[in-house]
Structure 1
Amino acid sequence: MFRQYSNILSHRRRRSKSSVQVLSAAQSEPASDAPTANEPLEIWAHSQPLDAEAQKQNGCFTTLTARIHKYDHVSQRGSDRFMEDLAATLNDEEMKLKSSYLTSPVGNYASFLYPECIPERLEIVAYLTELGNFHDAEQKETARTADKPEELVESPRAAARKKLLEKVTGEMTDKDGLEIIDCYRSNWLVTPEVPTAENCANLDDYVARRRLNAGIDVYWTLMGFAHGTRLGKEDQAVVRDALDAAERTMFFTNDYYSWSKEKRESKKKRVANVILFLMQHQNMSEEDAKEKTKELILENEKEFVKRREALYQTHSDLAPKLRKWMEILGAALGGIHYWCTNAPRYAIPDTPEIETTEDEADTSSQEDDSDDEDDEAEVDGAVNGVQEDEDPDQEPLWTPLVNAEDHPAVDLDASPLLAPTNYTGSVAPNQVHVELLAALNTWLQVPTRPLSFIKQVIHDLHDSSQILANIEDQSPVLRQKTAAHLVFGPAQSINSAAYMFVRVAKTVNCLNCPGMLDGLLEELETHFIGQSWDLNWRYNLQCPTEQEYLAMVDKKSGSTFRMLVRLMQSASMEGSALDLEILTQLLGRWHQIRNEYLGLISGNNQRGFGEELDQGKISYAIVRCCNLDPAAKTIILGIFRQKPDGAALSTESKIQILELLHKTGALQATYDLVRQLGRDIMKNVSELEITAQETNPSLKALVKTLGDLPTPTQE
């Protein structure tokens, strides 16, 4: 099932001699007796630490630094696929709409539990973790039939769990795969006894039984597989002390944050929770038990760090991969804690808590609800000026024109909101950026799902920016078609463009790729700063220096290309090893000055004659001309000054300005600059091909095609 996904994650696979199998890709290192202590230790390659302030939010009190995998969206893809498969297996379409066990607003649980997971394995690891946590309270249900009064039958959910395990492990044939299968069958496909105050003599006994109940060995097996460092029996014996403290930390952390929800369930079934255990076994109050659990978490975090340091000191020749395992485990414990503080699955249900029997609870609940409704009614009455003695059945003060019961509810769609941007996209499609995205993906290898979202983001930003640019330029046409603001009105067009910025931010945020939202917002800010200088010079009829003009272009146009690259690198399975800063700067300058040049000359089938001059833009050719010839500057800015707002220049005025641009050599210089920028881009692409060890014919072909420009011959 996952074989197809392993083959889209790394561009290195294209240089391999054989196809990559999901469990043979990035083969796990052997048990740690092979490596020597002198090997270099590289721990953090695929994760990044959480911001200290962010980690403290929502009452998170862990002392360990949490880390999250850089490709959290891949973890979520594994969870989403699990929910799709589960819905299909149970024949329950509504299951697809439910949130998975691992999902949270701050990231997928697998991204915290396996922060250094080999990227190629992250999706299947998340899927397997979802599968492991898909528990029934009991795997057998009691069914009564006519001929058999009582018979144990397997529940549909238990059967689905087994079926999905067979499906996902069908391709697992190597040692790691077989070990995972054995762990699942012996730990998560059985129903161990729930540890309670009745069957546990003390806290240590509770933890020992909790190990079996939680199937913790499966986590360690998955963690070893995820990080490419499998722990053999001898390895586990070496790190056992530190591992014990880590397990206690995990159990107590889970119990602490799940208690608010589980205490309701404890009225109906046995619940494994240390808070309940302390309350029943040591006669503690709920508050005291919660405080004691918090102390246990902090004590065991401290004990884990202490035992880990002792391990390093006692075993000076400790294999580097074992040391790496221990460091990752510390980050995972902090990540689990942070995830628990934000996990929707621990949210307290909205239904009132049951304190007595079901019959009594129903009665008291109804009474409480009625009391609450009375209180709310009193408050509403006071606020709205309604006297307590008013008759609620008297004639209403207002009646609707139609009876709501006889007419369906009105649902206003988004068609007016999207109409201007849809229209703009159809008139001026964003071909350059789309082709560039596809070409850059030769190197960056962004997975299909985030790539499609990035493409949509670029489309939306292009359309919204084009609408705003036409309004700011007071341009009546776009690619020789009526501009959107003259079709739908300026107000609706501005509203549509503003909405697009909100939509792209929401889209990027949902991808959960670290650094992606920051990249979007930072480059949008830079774009608007650059645009502000362009508008400022045009409004005040000021001519900047050549250096000032190029700095403006780097912010205005360059930001669009930097944004595209930053979005792709944030979602790339290859990371951001390639330095594309120079390329994005060159592309930004080339794209804008090339468009300005085409807007000045005739014979261009996409633009009208002298379109840039109609808008009074201070283009590169104008900047060059005005800085070379003060007399020409006076004439050009004078013509712009007399041009009525929104009106086109006369043909005679356009010809006069173009003659000045030819006479000073500014138009030829613009043509030469565009050609030089094209050469510089081709040179930079060749250098990047060497660094990436991969040619990029698509990118070179794109540059070559766009570099074919008409010469500035004077008619």
Structure 2
Amino acid sequence: MPYFSTPLPEALVRQSRSQTKFTTVMHSNHEICTESAERVQAEFNQAMETNIITRTVAPVPGIGRLHAVALTIPNCLPERLAALTRFAEFTILNDDFYDIAKNEEINKINDDIQSVLNGAIELSNSTESNMTKSKQFQASLILDIVNIDADLAMEILSTYSKGLELATFAPDTLKTLDDYLPIRMINSGLDVFQTMSCFGMGIKLSAEEKEQLSDFVNTAMYSTTLINDLHSWPKEVAHHIEHPGSEYPFNAVAILMRHGGLSEAEAFVRLRERQAQLQERHLTLLRALEAAGPVPESHMLYILAAQYAASGSEFWSELVPRYPSKQDVDQPEVEFVGGAFRYRTGTITPDIHCAVKAAAAVKTVTEENDTVTKSHTNGFVNGHTNGVANGHANGHKNGLTNDHTAHCSNSDTNGLTNGHTNGDHKNEETFFLKSLETVECKSDLVLAPYNYLTSMPSKGIRELFITALNWWLEVADDQLVCIKDVVSFLHQSSLMLDDIEDGSKLRRGQPSTHTIYGLGQTINSANYIFLQAFARVRSLGHGRPEILDMFIDELENLHRGQSYDLYWKDHVHCPSVDEYLMMIDNKTGGLFRLCVRLMECLAKRSTRGISSENFVKQLSQYFQIRDDYQNLVSDQYAKEKGFAEDLDEGKISLPLIYTLQSSPYRDAIMRVFKHRDLCGGNTGEMGMEMKTFIIREMRKTGALEKTYQLLRAMQLELMDELRRLEEAFGTPNASLELVLRMLWIE
């Protein structure tokens, strides 16, 4: 692979006050980055009716104007450079847009700053509309990179998803740099940035290869984390000081000042020293690797990408006008006194700059805000993925917890004891009755299985589907949340019951709910959550009979479809393909149809003459058949649910139907299914030898390949249906297309 990076003159790097030990380079086609960033900024402002200027282009003496991507991903393939830059620049625009939206709300309610900080403000309809536009705009840019390289683009999205739990790790539990750096690296999105670099360069490494190179990447990326924190500190601490009650800055400077007892100037020196140590450690590892023998080019490019993220971020941060330094804004020295950060009284002191100069033998250190590495990754996570996850979870799970109360108290025991000591039977009876009247039956116990299930990681495809569909239908926000609640409650309730009916031991890689809470408690919880769905539908319809009719219709369809699935499994009956698709249309299609019918009924926009029935039918069939296929061939499914778990359950899937239609061992396979418990040694699972035998027959008969080809054809049909709907509604729906592509089998 050709290299597209060009080293910057050493004198220029020194002049910038960068202290990196890595080579600082730029992309030889850096003009593409600048032009792409400015173009997407103009498109965004036109679409959003804003006037945001990101100031992400740094004026570099003797070279011209450089965008961050040109410095941090300098070996990006030229044909991918524009799309990657547009994506990175958009996420910075999105950050700025959300900041502006928040500021507008703050200006409206200056008398309630604490509510603002706690996110207790509801955005205006116009702001919500703009945020929907923003998500559509973002989805279209993601589709650009998906269309270039679907595998690597989806790897970017997957890395976002996997990092979300760590990204919200409570900073107060981190008291040393060793504890802080691994969490902060993910929180600032640098793991995703490395994946973006792979996309840019077209490098596909296995998980094993990445693990092998993790020490090289981590040492470099930890140094980038410190660089980001040093430059973002002035803005972060200013925001904290100016907003009393806000959380401490999640920043290495704050860690050292709070838990290490260092002054601001001492913390800067310590972090610069740690940055140098990390980068020297990285270079030592690299020299040892090169001395051991030839290094594969893909591995070297992967390592260099981590270096360039550090050197490029620092050079860019020193020069870019986006982030003013402490001196630029005349920010006084910060001190940590009595558990609070505050400005030291008096004018700005030169202590920090002098201390850093003495430690690093440079003129000054410019303390600026976060680099594009942080801005573009956090922009996506907070603006898109978290927006969906948090909006939905808070919409229903917390609502249940707040609306209902916890398990019964033991005050009745005390009442009985006190009653007996009285000695008066009538008084004792009266006291007993009064005691019962004060007992409160709470809902902790009935919600426990449900809360356990919802705590498991989930892609939330149905919720994403509803959000994307609303780009066309324009259902009111409160009604949309209600529809999401209904669908989620029904889905979670059915999962608990399905796992019992199927005998599943794993759900999303964790023990199934009934294996933890028992059959009775899980069934009771599932029924309770079902009732919550009914209650939400009733509130949604405000007594409108057609709303309840839709709810009842689709639940009847769902249960009828499930009855076929269970009957075929229990009787080891092989249905025809048409019968199987009928089952999917009812069982899997029920929830999809319900959400679409509810949304169309409540839509502000007319859907007259527009039918989504065929799209929903195709999506439901694809969704289920894809699950059948992945259960048998996907390593990820094997980790989360167990190897070929559908065979353990005796599930009749489409690949199995194809196999039974043509395999000479049809009778043998049927016998294995009838006696699968015995084949597994009474473990409740089919033996590994039998699973291997059946999957081998699926391959020999071409059943797996036939299923794969069907899925590929269905993908094309779904895209055709999407284009038809886009034409009917008169506008593209990039968010919905992205949801579909997240499901694609490549």
Query: Would you call these one fold, judging by a TM-score over 0.5?
Result: no
Q: Which one has a bigger Cα radius of gyration? A: 1
The structure whose residues are more often helix, as a share, is: 2
Band of TM-score, shorter chain: 0.3 to 0.5
